[in-house]
Amino acid sequence: MMRRLYALPYFLWIGLFVIIPLAMLIYQSFFNLSGQFTLLNYATYFSSGTYLMMTWNSVLYALIITLVTLLISYPTAYVLTKLKMKQMWLMLIILPTWVNLLLKAYAFIGIFGKYGSVNNFLQFIGIGRTQILFTDASFIFVASYISIPFMILPIFNALEDLDEHLVFASSDLGASKWQTFTRVIFPLSLNGVRAGVQAVFIPSLSLFMLTRLIGGNKVITLGTAVEEHFLTTQNWGMGSTIAVVLVLAMLAVMGLTKEKKEG
């Protein structure tokens, strides 16, 4: 009885902030601008070259951001586990997540702007000012920077939980450092990599604020389309349809990257 009482807040939270909003989203996706029930929203989405291109862009950008983040985060997390004051360094890496995303975006607008610090440096060394802001590269850079702590943390935890005796045993049996890493360390830390991929790839699918502020509307994703339909065109049915597709895509990613249990 007490366990049920303790679980009540959890079920209330899930019901109010997950199940009910999702149900409302799915319900709204079957209505057009006139409030009439229709399947046209889904037909339009899957037959429109524009929406399909947005879907491809969303997946492609999310993949690039996840790959860049992983390539930076894994070595960083590995080095962190070898440091004496690793918890302090980890805290410094996580510290930027306490800063509001909007503030970080505006900070990068100043850094990458025409008269920002990066362009001032380029001017100083004789290269000259160039267009950095409102490009794919600047968008990927900022999105990757913001996502790095969310990739480092689960990988760091997985490496911390690694039994060092297995590493020592690998060396004793004649394995090189590279063989030890590829056959022992990396496979045993894959759960952390999967968790990091989920934490980065899934939010990256639906980015919209960074596409506006850093990408300058040149980076178009499904998140941008959802925002446009809800706030500008007021076509809530189409916006809900795209949001439902995003939710399904996120569930598919979670399914593909979930922890594989031994049979």
Neighbour count for residue 67 (Cβ, 10 Å): 15
Confidence at residue 7, expressed as pLDDT on a 0 to 100 scale: 82
Task: Name the helix (H) or strand (E) containing 154.
Answer: helix 136-160
Q: Say whether pLDDT at 262 is over 60.
A: no
Q: Say whether pLDDT at 1 is over 70.
A: no
> Across all residues in the chain, what is the average pLDDT?
90
Q: What domains does the chain contain, in order, with CATH numbers?
A: 40-256 (1.10.3720.10)
Contact present, 74 and 155 (Cβ < 8 Å): yes
Q: Say whether pLDDT at 182 is over 80.
A: yes
195-215: pLDDT as tens digits:
999 999 999 998 888 888 898
How far CA 246 is from CA of 170, 190, 207, 243, in Å, comes to 43, 25, 11, 5
107-150: pLDDT as tens digits:
999 999 988 999 999 998 988 889 899 999 999 999 999 999 99
Tokens of 20: 């009910």
SS3 string, 40-99, reads HHHHHHHHCHHHHHHHHHHHHHHHHHHHHHHHHHHHHHHHHHHCCCHHHHHHHHHHHHHC
**What mean pLDDT comes out for the span 99-111?**
91
For 22, residues 6+ apart whose C-beta sits below 8 A from its C-beta are 247
